[in-house]
Amino acid sequence: MQFNIFYFICFAPAVILLYYIVGNRMKTVYLLLASLLFYAFFGLPSFAVLCAMIFVTYFIGCSLSKNRSRPVFLAGIVLLAGLLSSIRFMDRTMNTWFGITVPFTLFVPVGLSFFTLNAIGYLADLYTGKLEQPLSLPETGVFLSFFPVVTSGPILRAGEFADELRKPAVPLSYDRIRRGFLLVLWGYFLKLVIAERCALVTGTVYGDETMYGLPVLLAIFLYSIQIYADFAGYSLIARGLAHGMGIAVPENFRQPYLSASVKEFWRRWHMSLSAWLKDYVYIPLGGSRKGKANTYRNLMITFLVSGFWHGTGLTFLVWGALHGIFQIAEGLLFKTKQENVRFSSRLFHTVLTFVLVSLAWVFFRSYGVREALGILLRALKPGNFGILFTERLYTLGMDARNLRIFALAFVMMAGVDLYQYQHSDLIDRFLKQSVILRVLAVWVILFLVILSVNLSGTEFIYMQF
């Protein structure tokens, strides 16, 4: 069941409404049953893997709470990470070695990488003493399967999420529901109105080896917008649904393309993953405590782990390595913090960061390193500059109507991001406006979303991880 399918729009409000009816005693069990029902729509193999992960994590967690045994902890990590790796390699082997194309969820359960990181982080917190008491079986189940976040995050922390489950259920509130609705609506706006239209162009240009020059360069930059609108849109929908039940879910994006360095980009992009990698990989490796050489080594290892977490293909490792190299280069070349430089200098570094990140996304999107290099070479080949000023522009995938809608939506998204970059109270400010202005804004966004529903032909990008 996907967030951009109509019957999910019926499922989520029903779950939220019943959540306020079941009461405190049964709310955790209720959320577990609702989440498992949601995940069951992805197929029996995926459902079985998730249930196995829940039981394995619960029993190892109980063992660690009684005795913080290093062998038990390492066995748990190897078991969970080994399950993730073996399933990914099995899927890759069937498709690349034997030429057999199989349904995605047959070998790789949707959201496998996300709930595996949740489970590993939980066991690590028990082992290090950050979490004193283990989660109960229902709490473990909800922690790993919570339906708003199970397929694409944000990545949760066991202690924080347990506190959300154990606190008294909040009463049904109009203010909470409308704030959650605004987050969900803007998330759908980003996914359907912006990301799906970008996909029309990127799919056309990436798939046409005769394209070169400006169209390819345009597609590279549009994919950066696509993956941001797609993933940030999902995260907002997840946060909005959880907020409607009074459950806090971590913020996952904070205007990443306004970053003036790749280091800052990772403080604003997929923030829950960045924090997880920092706490459970980078710092245990030594962090920045033992000189620059060790710091850069630890940084590179961390980003290689990030690449592997996304997939077993070499393209993901190259993508992760590039981000590690970019940050090492920044550390060697730029000594002044970007917060302390002139506007013109920060603008230059912001554009440069966007270009570097966009080039790395080419490897992320491509099926192989050779394909990625071919796309970059085609982008560097001069030509096709006049395509922006003729009707040939519409051969790239977007017709005139969709192009006008995309232009309007892009301006709206940029305006919201620029405001939120300076302030953090956009919803509060919005709710203080006149009723007429608020209703008009909501109806405009809703109208654009409805116009774009027919474009909803792709799943959220990060559901494949």
Which one-letter amino acid corresponds to residue 354? F
CB 215 within 8 A of CB 208: no
Residue 105: strand, helix, or coil: helix
Catalytic residue among 310, 323, 349, 423: 310
- Using only the alpha carbons of the chain, give its radius of gyration: 23
Tell me which residue of 261, 230, 282 sits closest to 332, measured CA to CA: 261
Tell me which residue of 2, 35, 39, 3 sits closest to 19, measured CA to CA: 35
Report whether the peptide linkage leading into residue 103 is cis, meaning its omega lies within 30 degrees of zero.
no
Catalytic, 310? Answer yes
Which one-letter amino acid corresponds to residue 416? V
Tell me which residue of 73, 53, 50 sits closest to 63, measured CA to CA: 73
Query: Two tokens at 187?
Result: 């998330």
CB 374 within 8 A of CB 220: no
What are the DSSP calls for 375-409, one per residue? HHHHHHS---GGGGGSGGGGGGS--HHHHHHHHHH
Please give the DSSP secondary-structure letter assigned to residue 257: G
Burial of 340 (0-12, 13-18, 19+ CB in 10 A): exposed
Distance CA 182, CA 176 (A): 10
| 268-269-272-275 Cα dihedral, nearest 10 degrees | -60
Greatest pairwise CA separation for the chain in angstroms: 71
CB 150 within 8 A of CB 111: yes
Task: Give me the active site residues, please.
Answer: 310
